[in-house]
Amino acid sequence: MVVRESFPLLPSWTPIVMYSILIPFALIFLYGLWRISRKFELVRALKEVDLRKLRRGLIRVLSQKRVLEIDRGFFHALLFAGTLVLFLGTLTVFLETDILEHLGVRILFDGTYSAFELIMDSFGVLFLIGALSFFPTRDREGKILLLGLLYIGVTGFFLESTRIYAQPNAASHYSLVGYLLSGTVGPLILPFYTVLWWSHALLAFSMVAYLPYSNLLHSLTALLTSSLEEEIVRFPKEPFRLQELEDVEEIKLGFEEASELPWYEKYMLAACVKCGRCTDSCPANLTGRPLSPKDVVQGLKVSLLGGTYELAEDAVWSCVSCGACSTACPNYISPFTFLMERRRSLVAEGRIDKKMGELLNGLRRYHNSLSVPQRGRLSWIESDDDPDYYLWVGCQYSFDPVGKRVVSKLVDLLRKAGIRIAIFGEMETCCGEPARRLGEEGMFQEFALTNAELFKELGVKRLLVLCPHGLTVFRHEYPKVVEDWDVEVVSHVELLAKLVREGRLKVSRSGELTFHDPCNLSRFNSVVEEPREILSRVDGFREMGRHGVNTFCCGAGGANYWYQTGEGTMAKERVKEALEAGAKAVVVACPFCYAMLNDASKGMNLEGFEVLEISELLE
């Protein structure tokens, strides 16, 4: 019977000395684990993990789903797979050597031993390839950690080749790399085998002990964030519910110091790996604004661990709340959560500029985001009796001349398809989204409660929403602040796609068109395929490089439409991308995207370039 020998070519005292030395390393590791658990409130977060969430987390981590979507993601998957299998292999050896052998049981013998050697060598190669591929792109700490991993991997093969050279057996040729090197490396290493073995073991112990203090911490915490966080982007949790509020003095809005963050935001910080995907996808950063989501997360993480960090206000106000950073993060961290939380505290302290103040004052006085009287709002549309849907137009299209054309067209299309529509007219106010994105939580909830009461009075059961910003708050955020919310919320894009699919509407437009996915439609509501059900029927449709959940923000989100006026850099970037795709028109499904891209194209003096609302493609 061929079996795996324990501690071959080593003195008999090796196990006792090794486990004695292992104790202080284990204590350092456990202390680090306790430290990060306390600082990031990981135990509190663990209490929220049930079997369903754990299953979701395991699928995400093991599949490396988001990791594989990026450059070098394949090599990270190799490193991850190699590390996981080598760890499980080491655990198997420990189980057999230190527990099962004493019970007279062996699991690594004959066929199982041969398979074990083959698997370990194969994944050891993957481990080395993965580690080598990342070396040029890592910072100083990352390079040191990778050197350590490479040393452990290479010396592991050297030790194996020496063992095969000195003590060959019937399973030796299954150790692919060790067997290949045994004739050349084996004789050279044999005199130094014990020294090399101890260097290999001590470095492995050191790296495990250092793990909770290093950038490798994410290997312990990624499963937690991957289990608890949703696939689509969510706005930060409400700090209170106005319906239940009794003592205003007890409210804590946002944070100034990282230690003031609630547990459900602290724990995310522990999973950051400094990969920078959030910053690479951030439209604010890519267009020159002073915001790096990676720096925000790392800064807050350092602050929680006792360092110093101040989140600059210009970085906070640079965010367009597009959710790109959250969608890009392989560990499901949401950097924009921290920026929105900080806005809450800045607004509560009155630290806002004139334009932000004008927006909030206009919302208070006029109950809409354009600061115009409500009189005559949507008076040009009549309501049907016994409506299938109540149509929520949104502030932008309610008062904008373009909006009158778009809304009239949409209503005509729906009625042609047999859909009865009612409107709210002057009763339609702001949905509250601009206030919440700016950081005025109380005002948002006031709008939510007022609108919910209106819906209840009118008996609204199905709400058709034209603005994706409104879609997000009605579908995902109202249910969290309004008791007994029972309204089905549908995007006009979803309904139009359904009607096209059923043959009740048809595409009447052709030409070189592309589609700009609104952030709130794609990232916050996963409405990606529906617009393409319509656009795929257009001869000449082509995609931009950044589309779907990887879309590029127009620049209006996060209330930027009101206080970053006149900039338009992101919108111009998007128009350039449409031109690069060979499009002569860009189709939108959001009133803010329409305004931003239309203004940008005019500012760029483009002749013959159009911005179209998706309903304008149909008849």
Residue 204's pLDDT band (boundaries 50, 70, 90)?
Answer: very high
Residue 70 gets which letter from DSSP?
A: S
Distances (CA, A) of 51 to 40, 54, 56, 228: 22, 5, 9, 11
Q: What structural domains and CATH numbers belong to the chain?
A: 14-218 (1.20.950), 229-239+251-348 (1.10.1060), 389-499 (3.40.50), 501-617 (3.40.50)
Please list the residues that pair with 422 across neighbouring strands. 390
pLDDT tens digits for range 128-181: 999 999 888 888 889 999 999 999 999 999 999 999 999 999 999 999 999 999
At 252-271, the pLDDT tens digits run 899 999 999 999 999 999 99
What's the rounded mean pLDDT across residues 22-27? 97
Tokens standing for 18? 């090794």
What percentage of residues in the chain have a pLDDT greater than 90?
A: 89
* 549-597 confidence digits (pLDDT tens): 999 999 999 999 999 866 779 999 999 999 999 999 999 999 999 999 9
pLDDT-derived band at 471 (thresholds 50, 70, 90) equals very high
Closest to 112 in 3D by CA, of 126, 136, 98, 93: 93
Residue percentage of the chain with pLDDT more than 70: 99
Question: pLDDT tens, 344-376?
Answer: 999 999 999 999 999 999 999 999 999 999 999
How far apart (Å, rounded) are the C-alpha atoms in residues 85 and 92? 10
Tokens of 433: 């989204």
**Structure-token match 């663990």, residue found:** 46
pLDDT, tens digit (0-9, with 9 covering 90-100), for 50-69 = 999 999 999 999 999 899 98
Average pLDDT, the chain: 94
- Tokens 């754990």 map to which residue? 54
pLDDT for 425-445, tens place per residue? 999 999 999 999 999 999 999
CA separation for the pair 339, 436 (Å, rounded): 12
With a cut of 80, say whether residue 248 has pLDDT above it: no
- Is the predicted pLDDT of residue 452 greater than 80, yes or no? yes
* pLDDT score, position 568: 79
pLDDT bracket for residue 495 (50, 70, 90): very high
**113 CB-near residues (< 8 Å, 6+ apart):** 2, 3, 4, 171
Determine how β-strand 421-423 pairs with β-strand 389-392.
Answer: parallel
Angstrom distance (rounded) from CA 251 to CA 366: 27
Residue that is written with structure tokens 């194209």 in the block: 601
Q: Name the 3-class secondary structure at 26.
A: helix
Which is nearest to 372 in space by CA: 436, 422, 426, 409? Answer: 426
In 3-state terms the chain splits into helix, strand, coil percentages (rounded to 5) of 60, 5, 35
- Rounded to an integer, the average pLDDT of 535-554 is 95
In angstroms, what is the C-alpha Rg of the chain? Answer: 30
pTM over the 0.95 mark: no
